[in-house]
Amino acid sequence: MLPRALLLLGFAFVLTLGYQDAYNHRSTTNESHTAVFCYINGTRLMAQSRRNNYQTAHFGLEHIKIELCTHLVYGAAVLDTDTWGIRAIDPDLEHRQSGNKITFEDITELKNRKRDLQVLISVSGNAIHFSNMARSHRGDFVQHARNFLNKYKFDGLNIDWRYPTRSSGDPEDKQNYSLLIKELKNTFRNDAKLLTVTVSPMKQTIIRGYEDVDSDVIDSVDYWFIMALEYYGHWSFQIGANAPIRSRELHNVHKTIDDYKQIFQRHSYKLILVIPFYGKKYQLAQPLQNNYESPISKDLVNSHAPAENVIFTYREICQKMSNEHWRRGWDSETQTPYIVKDIGAIVYDDAQSVQAKTSLALSSGLGGVMAFSIDMDDFIGDCYVEGRRYSTDNYNYNYNTRERSARKYPLLQSIYETVERGPNSAAFHSSPLALVLVILGLWLLRT
Ligand SMILES: *[C@@H]1O[C@H](CO)[C@@H](O)[C@H](O)[C@H]1NC(C)=O
Ligand SMILES: *[C@@H]1O[C@H](CO)[C@@H](O)[C@H](O)[C@H]1NC(C)=O
Ligand SMILES: *[C@@H]1O[C@H](CO)[C@@H](O)[C@H](O)[C@H]1NC(C)=O
């Protein structure tokens, strides 16, 4: 009797595993796993150390949680117009050690702690300079880039050119950028380096910016980072979500993904959805009518406020919520949280909206997501408010009850857990079946 029951239990177990395994092989990319890119904004960290503000914790090397990332992208280099190569945003980063700054060697040495971790350097710069380089100095750039990656042991390059043909760019950008991409990939291929580019969420920009996005260009780039954010900001007339999943307006994250999938077709596994870890503060034209009203699509007052005053990191927002009395709400159309107090409103992203965006990326068959940026998450884990799953009709969440989440990286964790579960959480669906078999097994054991 006992062996039979054990056999059945074993069968149930194998069935559960088998189901999950079959599920994993139905993976959305043809790579073994979904990519989770963790972006680190070097420019923000520099500004932080200059301010030397001891009230805000300083993000350092020890805070990077590589267990939650498949790739790191260090945004700490710019296009150098003297050499047409790549230069650190701060010369200290090119030295071996530099106080509490994260040097290039510090960051690539993290690979010693996680063997399959890939570390990329992101190069940003003025659109005119990129345009110039792509037209007249491609060869110099390609050689420099190659040497730079090898020197600091980076696994790849991200080109953050926003965006070809735009911002005083040139109509010729698209042919020249395509050439640059192909030349870079030809050189990188020998060293097995990754080539990634940052692209606009607007279809028009990609169509105008890349020569027909032909299959050679698609092939040459390993990952395309879709900046699906900044749909709304201080320039808008109304308050809106930074990255609305859906909205009444034409542009939203869903639409962006659809547009890209149409262009990329079976290469959609190269697309990475960039997810913002910050929010923006707005002033309402007048206070809201009641405690249920959402500030989204209401008129705002400071439509001309400078951008730097309106951006708050998730960690700052989280601390605001624990220290001041803001009301949290959830806008179900855009799938975005907000907090309001008097005529102040902050629209942001939290664990719940990040989960929704990650699920959308996975169920759309994209190759993964990018956390933008991990230095904006609660990397200390001392914020009291978040890390809980809210129900979507939870308009009256009372922050005075303050459930302590006490875990680091609530947003990055949310990405990680969503990726682990997969697009439709099929791993969960297999449990009832296993349960039935286990009960059957136990019942057999009794008789
Ligand atoms: C992934 O798919 C692309 C295009 O379908 C193909 O060229 C490539 O060889 C595939 N890679 C693997 C590892 O299967
Ligand atoms: C990094 O942070 C700086 C300062 O906060 C900001 O101006 C810049 O746009 C950020 N970089 C990216 C790539 O968003
Ligand atoms: C840049 O693009 C333009 C337009 O296609 C082309 O005429 C020019 O030759 C390109 N420059 C180089 C250096 O290839």
Structure confidence by residue, pLDDT tens digits, 64-115: 999 999 999 999 999 999 999 999 999 999 998 878 899 999 999 999 999 8
Residue 141 is assigned to a structural domain of this protein: no
Residue 434 is assigned to a structural domain of this protein: yes
Distance CA 172, CA 67 (A): 42
The two structure tokens encoding residue 284: 């309402």
Residue type, 289: Q
Atom of ligand 2 nearest to the CA of 75: 13
pLDDT, residue 385, reads 56
**Does residue 135 have its Cβ closer than 6 Å to ligand 3?**
yes
Distance CA 66, CA 124 (A): 24
Q: Which residues contact 261 (CB under 8 A, 6 or more apart)?
A: 268, 271, 364, 365
Site of tokens 């349960």: 435
Residue 245 is assigned to a structural domain of this protein: no
Q: 130 with 137: CB under 8 angstroms?
A: no
The two structure tokens encoding residue 3: 């062996």
CA of 131 to the centre of ligand 3 (A): 11
pLDDT in tens, 338-387: 999 989 999 999 999 999 999 999 999 999 999 999 999 999 887 765 43
Nearest ligand to the CA of 170 is 3
> 153-186 burial by CB neighbour count: b if 16+ within 10 A, else e?
ebbbbbbbbbbbbbeebbeebbebbbebbbbbbe
CA of 242 to the centre of ligand 3 (A): 36
Q: 397 with 390: CB under 8 angstroms?
A: yes
Residue 42 is assigned to a structural domain of this protein: no
Q: Which residues line ligand 2 (CB under 6 A)?
A: 41, 43-44, 47, 75
Residue 371 DSSP symbol = E
Site of tokens 């939870």: 394
Q: Which residues contact 107 (CB under 8 A, 6 or more apart)?
A: 40, 61, 64, 72, 74, 119
- Nearest by Cα to 72 from 9, 158, 163: 158
Least confident of 101-115, 244-258, 276-290, 423-437: 423-437
CA of 222 to the centre of ligand 3 (A): 24
- Nearest by Cα to 226 from 333, 372, 412, 419: 372
Which DSSP string do the residues of 243-293 spell out, in sequence order? S-SS-SSS--HHHHHHHHHHHHGGGGGGEEEEEE-EEEEEEBSS--SSTT-
pLDDT, residue 386, reads 43
How far, in whole angstroms, is CA 13 from its chain's centroid?
35
Pocket test for ligand 2, best of 41, 196, 234 (most atoms within 8 A of CB): 41
Mean pLDDT across the stretch 205-226?
Answer: 81
Distance CA 38, CA 78 (A): 19
pLDDT, residue 22, reads 35
Q: Which residues contact 304 (CB under 8 A, 6 or more apart)?
A: 234
Distance CA 300, CA 285 (A): 5
Atom of ligand 3 nearest to the CA of 136: 13
User: Whole-structure pTM over 0.85, yes or no?
Assistant: no
- Nearest by Cα to 162 from 75, 48, 259: 75
| pLDDT at residue 32 is higher than 60 | no
Sheet containing 336-341, strands listed edge to edge, beginning at the edge strand earlier in sequence:
311-313, 278-283, 344-347, 336-341, 327-331
Residue 134 is assigned to a structural domain of this protein: no
Per-residue pLDDT band for 209 (boundaries 50, 70, 90) equals low
Residue 444 is assigned to a structural domain of this protein: yes
Per-residue pLDDT band for 291 (boundaries 50, 70, 90) equals confident
Pocket test for ligand 2, best of 37, 38, 44 (most atoms within 8 A of CB): 44
- Number of structural domains the chain divides into: 1
Residue 132 is assigned to a structural domain of this protein: no
CA of 30 to the centre of ligand 1 (A): 6
Ramachandran category for residue 38: left, alpha or beta (phi over 0 → left; psi -120 to 50 → alpha): beta
Q: For ligand 3, atom 4, which residue shows the shortest CA distance?
A: 172
Instruction: Identify the domain containing residue 14 by its residue range.
Output: 1-24+429-447
Atom of ligand 1 nearest to the CA of 30: 1
Residue 18: Cβ within 10 Å count: 11
Per-residue pLDDT band for 432 (boundaries 50, 70, 90) equals low
Residue 364 is assigned to a structural domain of this protein: no
CA of 181 to the centre of ligand 3 (A): 14
pLDDT, residue 428, reads 40
